[in-house]
Structure 1
């Protein structure tokens, strides 16, 4: 049974380090100090979101549909992954598309409470 390497220490939350690598085919073993890739630093939920984001080629509408979440939630999850990969968040101003929000409300895609938050520019 193969288990995935964990990227963060379950005790203190700091980055883990790999010290031994083995080949199951030829039994070669290498010992040393190895860093993990950036994606190993992501938590399970972040990895799942990144996979869905890539599978849907970044199409927010498709991601919303597949995960059953709203646009602001998709954006928040994306920002969370970006930060976990070590990039600083971009400060952006949100352009509110009031017609699109009202259309989503009309079609039952979002709740009235969600519409109010979106119109106020809240995430």
Structure 2
């Protein structure tokens, strides 16, 4: 388990770094176990002068934690992480992801969601 512990330590440390928010929006990822699907709701946002995500309709800052009542722009669903990446990154024009680091993050999360779908474990977006 030394390798697993080392990987977790590295990932936990990297999760603390500053990440610039994507002006193209953000995704809420979840599983539809009954349908066997990975789901990703895309929400639009505006990044204000302080670097905070703002609801384009209300002008209010979107909190990072807690429940937010907003309407998703688009719902993407797929059976695998790769299929979902292709739908969002390659097939959607214009692409709803503006930053490469955001695309990489989504790919990692889709793989985690796929693993949870296969294993039956809970999936919680990082």
Larger Rg: 1
Q: Which has the higher contact order (CA 8 A, sep 6+)?
A: 2
TM-score (norm: length of structure 1): 0.23
TM-score (norm: length of structure 2): 0.22
Identify the structure with the greater helix proportion: 1
Identify the structure with the greater strand proportion: 2
